[in-house]
Amino acid sequence: MSILHIKDLHLGFKTLTGHVDVLHGIDLDIAAGEKVALVGESGSGKSVTARIVLGLLQETRTARISGTVQFDGQDINAMSARDRAGLRGTEMSMIFQDPTSALNPMFTIGNQFTEVLRRRDPKLSKAASHARATTLLDEVAIPDPARVLGAYPFQLSGGMNQRVMIAMALANTPKLLLADEPGTALDVSVQAQTLTLIRDLVEQNGTSVLFISHNLGVVREFADRVYVIYRGNIVEDGPTDALFANPQHAYTRALMSAVPRITGAGLPEVPEVSDDFLAPRISHGGAL
């Protein structure tokens, strides 16, 4: 059964002058334990899709959402705001671009960990949460968990904070993890470690992942399946190997050629808009 099932998702925003359509009928499926990437340029609709899945955009009064978003068999759009909030932090969680700003600078890591763990178990004692946090930090290979728990976010490096974020996001063993370009604010070597860490942990826990990125290199190493999104439409999708071996859609090809080479052939040229980019969707299959 699929953990996340999105069918014909439309999103528009009401503005002072009228109506702006952002998503034009997105279809996307994630099976249990599957790692799926959603790839596209800035403004293509990646992050708003994530916010709809989390049930955050439904609270925005100017947003007009239609279509089906089923999480674990429940229709997110039909739920009450309270029920949606109940899913967040327990059944689904998220990892952000910049781990340091995602942690509140006024509280210690230990304090923030307790709050996260109490989402599942409101009566959890301070000592028990401390013990659990220590184990979790140990799993993300933090060498001195006791010191980190007593520290404030700004006293730790970006890489350390990223590990803390990952440990927190997976602390309540969610069914779905949303990763919004994790680690793009960090340097490349730390980013690679981060991805390996996330992959190992989600495979261990059987967590499904929706991985949002514009970086095809990262996606290729991480995801089982890939959706390419352009201007609110899915233009191509399929298993990672098949899609990278034989990209069919003009936009996917443009994205792939846009990755700068380390060998230095100059910056690639990508057209801003092209009629080919608006060609119909191509699917390589592979979805449930």
Does 86 engage in binding with another protein (CB under 8 A)? yes
Of 14-22, 65-73, 89-97, 247-255, which part binds another protein (CB under 8 A)? 89-97
Backbone dihedral region of 88: left (phi > 0), alpha (psi from -120 to 50 degrees) or beta?
beta
- Closest distance to another protein from the beta carbon of 265 (Å): 36
Of 139 and 180, nearer to another protein (C-beta) is 180
- Closest distance to another protein from the beta carbon of 115 (Å): 8
Q: Residue 255 is encoded by which pair of tokens?
A: 């994205």
Among 66, 74, 101, 125, binds another protein (CB under 8 A): 101
**Residues 236-261, buried b or exposed e (16+ Cβ, 10 A)?**
bbbbbebbeeebbbbbbebbbeeeee
- Determine contact, residues 210/36, Cβ cutoff 8 Å: yes
Q: Report how far apart, in Å, the C-alpha atoms of 209 and of each of 3, 89, 199, 219 are.
A: 10, 14, 9, 12
- Closest distance to another protein from the beta carbon of 127 (Å): 21
185 to 224, contacts with another protein by CB under 8 A?
none
Does 37 engage in binding with another protein (CB under 8 A)? no
For helices 109-120 and 126-139, give the axis angle rounded to 10 degrees. Answer: 100
Of 65 and 92, nearer to another protein (C-beta) is 92
- Closest distance to another protein from the beta carbon of 288 (Å): 26
Please, what is the end-to-end C-alpha distance for the chain in angstroms? 8
- Closest distance to another protein from the beta carbon of 79 (Å): 13
Does 260 engage in binding with another protein (CB under 8 A)? no
Q: Residue 287 is encoded by which pair of tokens?
A: 């979805």
Does 74 engage in binding with another protein (CB under 8 A)? no
Of 115 and 138, nearer to another protein (C-beta) is 115
Q: Residue 6 is encoded by which pair of tokens?
A: 């999105």
Among 3, 54, 201, 234, binds another protein (CB under 8 A): 54
Of 4 and 103, nearer to another protein (C-beta) is 103
- CA–CA separation, 148 vs 182, rounded Å? 21
- Determine contact, residues 165/98, Cβ cutoff 8 Å: no
E strands within the chain?
A: 2-15, 18-31, 35-39, 63-71, 74-75, 92-95, 176-180, 208-213, 225-230, 233-239, 282-283
Among 79, 85, 124, 242, binds another protein (CB under 8 A): 85
- Closest distance to another protein from the beta carbon of 113 (Å): 11
Q: Note the residues at the interface with another protein (CB under 8 A).
A: 54, 56, 85-90, 93-94, 96-98, 101-107, 115-116, 119
